[in-house]
Amino acid sequence: MCERHDSILPETMFSRRTLLKAGAFAAFTPWSFTHSIAAESTAAANAITPADALQRLMAGNARYAANTPNNRDFMADRAARAKSQFPIAAILSCADSRVAPELAFDQNPGDLFVMRVAGNVMSPHLLASLEYGVKFLGTPLVMVLGHTNCGAVSAAISVLKDKAELPGHLSGLIEAIKPAVVQAKASQPKNLLNSAITENVRLQVADLKQSSPIIDKFYADKKIDIVGAIYDLETGNIALV
C-alpha cells in the first residue's frame, strides 16, 4: 500500500511552483471563475466598439464644455463597482492638476482607466498598465490626452533652446519629450509650444500602435483603437489630433 501511494503521489499533486503560478494569475485576473461564467450570459458594460467608446467620450466632453454635465448619484452602483470594473477607455493623460479626464469627458466612476504622468509620455510601467486595461479589463479604446500650455513640453523646449538644467529626475522625463520638440521645430511653426504639444501626442500614439506584445496585436486585430487628443484649458473642449 505504501509503495503504491508513493508512486501515485507525484502524479496526482500539483507542485508548489504550479500552485504559486496559478495563484498569481488568479490574483492578477480581475474576474473570478464564477464571475467569468456569469459574464458569458451577460455582456460586459464595455462590450462596445472602439468607435462607440470614442463617441461616448466626445459627447461627454461636449456636455462638460457647455457646463451641462449629467447629474449623478455617486453612491449608485458602488457595491457593483467594488466587485468588477468595465472601463470604456484607457486614458494616458498629463499629471497637470487642471486636467481631470473623468470630469472633462463627463463619465461615471469606473468608466475610465486613467494613467497620469507629466507630459503624457509612455514608460514601461505605464505601458504595463495599458496592457492590463486592454487585455484583462476589455477596454476597447486607448487615448493619449495632451493639453494646452503643458509645462512639461515647455520645459523640454527650454532645455533644447536655452540649455536649461533641471533638478532631480526631471531631466529623464524631458528626454522622452525632446523628440516631439525637435520634430515640431523642423516644421517652423508660428507657435512652437502648441505644435510640440500636438507632436508629442502623435508620437506617443504612434509608439503605442507598435508596442508589443499586447497593444500592437489588439490594434492590428481591430479589437481596440488608439487615438490622440488635446484638452484646451481655457475652453474645456477636447479635439482629436
Domain ranges of the chain: 45-240
Q: State pLDDT tens for residues 67-124.
A: 999 998 889 889 999 999 999 999 999 999 999 999 999 999 999 999 999 999 999 9
Q: What is the pLDDT of residues 204-228, one digit of tens each?
A: 999 999 999 999 999 999 999 999 9
- Record the pTM: 0.84
Helices (H), the chain: 2-12, 16-28, 33-41, 50-65, 78-83, 101-104, 124-135, 151-162, 170-186, 192-209, 215-220
Q: Does the 45-240 domain belong in CATH 3.40.1050.10? A: yes
